Amino acid sequence: MTSFTQALRHFYITTYLLVLFIVASTIEFKTTYLENKLSFIFLCITFFIYGFLYLIPSYALTYLTKTTLSKQLSQSKIQKAIYLIAILTTAITTLLLYANAKLFELYGMYINAFVMNLVMTPGGVQSLGGSGSSDAGFAIIALGFLLLQVGLMWLAVQFSQQSLAHKFYASSQQFFGWKSALSALLLTVAVHLSYAYDLHTKHQLSTVAQMVPFYQIVSARGVFKALGIQGTRSSSLKARGKLHYPLHTIQSAKPSKPYNIVWLVSESWRADALNAHIMPNAWSFAQQSTRFTKNYSTGNGTRAGVFGMLMGLPSSYWFQFLQEQRGATILDVMRSQGYQMQFYTSGLFSYPEFDKTIFAQMPAEEMHALQGNNRLGWQNDQQNVSDLLSFIDQRDTSKPFFTFMFFESPHARYYFPPESVIAKPYRDDLNYARLSKQALRADIVAIKNRYINAVHHLDNQFGRVFGYLKQHQLLDNTIVILVGDHGEEFMEHGFWGHNSTFVDEQIRTPLVIYMPNKPAAVVEKMTSHADIVPTLMPMLGVTNAKSDYSIGINLLSNQVRDHVYIADWDKLAYVDNKVKIVHPVNNSSMFKLAVSTASDKNVSYAMASQILQKKQKATMQIMQDLTHFSKPVSLNKAVN
């Protein structure tokens, strides 16, 4: 065999080892070994097989290049082309796996549908708030992986020209021949059949399988059922059916003295950030309002949190509303009553796709988005507040108004001007390209101080709105809502940011509602973002039962919640005063039921089983709520 072929083989062997090294950083081999030896064997086989599978696209493209060019170019040019394709494709592969590993290290997730949506949707990448130093860092890392593959290819070529290489090639022919390929194929089939069988019966391998990046789920429930093998019920809660919302036509009678509504939403505003030190303006305003101290977002990310608060629904309905581009009913009601409306965001309405869901029926001239103007979040917040106040100032005073604003200051990287600094020391910048869990732990106090300064700036902007409303005597007939879209974790449970888990730091937010002529109050009962709409609708003269448009409760009623729902892209958490149970909401997810205490303490497998047994009624209620606005109703609850 030629030295060219030997060089390619050596190159792919070393790249395979590099792939294993990168992927191994995300896999808990020791923990799996201690917990279950069979699961450990499954994990090891899957790990080595998938290391090979990751490189198949590169190898296939290399082979295709060789076949395509064999009759068109000289041998030397063909070799150069193949070397180039091999280097580029393996560099992309290893870079992707490295990015995947870093994503898991920092946020507890691999590249998935949510991440792809973020990348592909206009404004998604911008929403991350990366800096110039971050972009430069990512470029350097990408270049580094390319140069690494160039170096490996150079070494492979040099080694292939040595006599030792011929001996290595001869000895490796048996290992890398057709027998090995057949063995790899059989092992691939075996690990996936093992997973399919376990998925049908014991559900012990799902946690292990999800450690392996891009593991492909295989289900064979129909086959196993035909063979008479008893299965277990799927834990997926996903509902099917056409959206039927609202259940009945909304009936309303415009109040003789309709309220104005000012709805202020902040990015990443966690519950404990509302205090007299960090937010003196908001804290003072809360003393004149109703402050809900145990409020839960409907999600651990912006998409789910904002959707739930303006729809009054579990955010698992997002995909149905997006598919049918159905907007918020409360906005329809105000439109029909002649409200003057303007919507502001320092982000974008296109990511998440609020312009195709919540605000789908709102005219473009009422939607004002500032992201993408090369200004920082705090600068956009200041501009938007000025525009919002200008709108109120220039409105037709004979008609009520509704205005909504989404603030970006507390979004990572956490934006603030120098005069808003109240917490030191703080990180001057957050370079995402250099972040690691170890670095985060070392710098988390300085990073959180940066967040505190950003929230303090948010408070200054809130203060501008409060001051204007008070100065113009508008508080006598204006409802003011202050709420965060979700929380923000600072490594309290091992992660930074949001969108990764359902710990309190990521899902609890402030909720303050000012209502004219209503005494100030502090409400300590459990509340949800989904309760805001059913509280406002009766005040807009809506006479329908709240079940026609929401699954929330009226916060002014005597009704008391005993649970809330919080969702992300493919999971839904049931939370009550004692436990949290996280369910998958589609059959394509490897995630299985997870149980913890309401205070985010882990529980034993035996205790989790007991909790699930006791909460069967709650599970049925979840299924009902997730299909309440679907017609016809069909659930993935089959034993299959």
Q: Is the pLDDT of residue 454 over 60?
A: yes
Residue 360: CB atoms within 10 Å: 17
Encode 386-421: b = buried (16+ Cβ within 10 Å), e = exposed: eebbebbeeeeeeebbbbbbbbbbbbbbbbbeeebe
Cβ proximity of 118 and 351 under 8 Å: yes
pLDDT at 538: 97
Cβ proximity of 370 and 143 under 8 Å: no
Residue 229 pLDDT class (50, 70, 90 cuts) = very low
| Per-residue model confidence as pLDDT tens digits over 247-287 | 999 999 999 999 999 999 999 999 999 999 999 999 999 99
Q: Is the pLDDT of residue 421 over 90?
A: yes
The residue among 577 and 72 whose pLDDT is bigger is 577
Q: Is the pLDDT of residue 637 over 50?
A: no
At position 512, the amino acid (one-letter code) is V
What ranges do the domains of the chain cover?
A: 3-226, 243-635
Q: What does the alpha-carbon distance between residue 317 and residue 339 come to, in Å, rounded to a whole number?
A: 27
**What average pLDDT does this structure show over 553-573?**
93
Q: What does the alpha-carbon distance between residue 165 and residue 7 come to, in Å, rounded to a whole number?
A: 9
Under CATH, which architecture does the 243-635 domain have?
3-Layer(aba) Sandwich (3.40)
Q: Is 9 helix (H, G, I), strand (E, B) or coil?
A: helix
Q: Output the average pLDDT for the chain.
A: 84
Residue-level length of the chain: 640
| Per-residue model confidence as pLDDT tens digits over 178-200 | 556 666 666 666 665 555 544 43
The residue among 466 and 111 whose pLDDT is bigger is 466
pLDDT at 410: 96
Burial (CB < 10 A; 0-12, 13-18, 19+), residue 545, is exposed
Q: Is the pLDDT of residue 113 over 90?
A: no
Cβ proximity of 202 and 233 under 8 Å: no
Name beta bridge partners: 290: 513, 521
CA dihedral 329, 334, 340, 345 (to 10 degrees): -30
- The number of helices, as runs of H, and strands, as runs of E, in the chain is 21, 16
Q: Is the pLDDT of residue 71 over 70?
A: no
Residue 436: CB atoms within 10 Å: 11
| Per-residue model confidence as pLDDT tens digits over 580-636 | 999 888 655 545 678 999 999 999 888 988 998 899 898 889 988 988 998 754 434
Q: What does the alpha-carbon distance between residue 443 and residue 249 come to, in Å, rounded to a whole number?
A: 54
